[in-house]
Amino acid sequence: MRMDEMSSAAFAEAVKKDPLVFLPIGAMEAHGPHLPLGTDTFQPEFVVNAVCENVGGIIAPTINYGQHSSTRNFPGTIDISFDTLRSLVMDILDAFQRNGVGKVVIVSGHLGSVHRAAIKLACERAARQGLKVMFLSDYELAYLKKTEVCEGMPDGHGGIIETSRIMDIRPDLVSSERTEGGFVDMRFMVRADAESCLPQGFGGDARKACKEKGRLVNQFVVDTLTDLVRKNFEG
Ligand SMILES: [Zn+2]
């Protein structure tokens, strides 16, 4: 059930049954020349829709912006600050609780560590106020398939896994002209031009991506998260 399609009365009625509420967190972020800016939105929305079909619940509108470091200077990356993101998630979780929501699953497409820390702090505060909350990036699950899907090759932002997953979810948005992106080790330096760690704007051999790999990873993520949600919220 999509929250934005429900009436106020229908939502109030649904909340009485203590439903799970899913909150997808997307991003507008450069993902190399072959992937759309909404890559980190399409992935968690796909996962949340599928998991919600398996376990039931309400899907809240996606937060479509996040905090970005290494891709911040690439065209099309629209980042919000750590404080804004933390406050935004905090306020939404407060409002959920005020509405009687007791169980929330947050799935972020973007894996950035600062981005996730902002969301995590908001979740910890909500947990202390009594909310039962799970928070992950679907990438944390997708990466469990890295050895199988990437056959030992290095892979990262906009690489084999992400390109394959988008080829499964939104093939119309993936360019057929794909190359390989390298990684540069910043040796612990914190730099204003953090994007130089990704000279091509993405990392991994996107030529090795295919729809079948994406289907395999997406199915694995959906199945694994379905299990996790059942174990933590049901019974
Ligand atoms: Zn991404």
**pLDDT tens digits for range 21-44:** 999 999 999 999 999 999 999 999
In this structure, the number of other CB atoms found within 10 A of the CB of residue 147 comes to 9
User: 147: CA distance to ligand 1 center in Å?
Assistant: 18
10 Cα to the center of ligand 1, angstroms: 34
Looking up tokens 């290095």 gives: 154
Query: Whats the size of the chain, residue-wise?
Result: 235
pLDDT at 203: 96
Q: Is 195 helix (H, G, I), strand (E, B) or coil?
A: helix
Question: What is 3-233's CATH number?
Answer: 3.40.50.10310
Using the mean position of ligand 1's atoms as its centre, give its distance from the Cα of residue 188 in Å: 22
User: What separation in Å is there between the alpha carbon of 38 and the centre of ligand 1?
Assistant: 8
- Pairing of the two strands 20-25 and 103-108: parallel
Q: Any idea where the domains of the chain sit in the sequence?
A: 3-233
CA 64 – CA 102 distance, rounded (Å): 23
d(CA 4, CA 226): 23
The Cα 162–Cα 139 span in angstroms is 9
By three-state DSSP, how is residue 33 classified? Answer: coil
Helix axes 211-233, 39-55, angle to 10 degrees: 50
pLDDT, one tens digit per residue, over 48-98 is: 999 999 999 999 999 999 999 999 999 999 999 999 999 999 999 999 999
31 C-alpha to ligand 1 centroid (Å) = 7
Query: What pLDDT, in 10s, does the model give residues 192-230?
Result: 999 999 999 999 999 999 999 999 999 999 999 999 999
Kindly report, residue by residue over 90-136, the tens digit of the pLDDT: 999 999 999 999 999 999 999 999 999 999 999 999 999 999 999 99
Encoding tokens for residue 126?
Answer: 């909500």
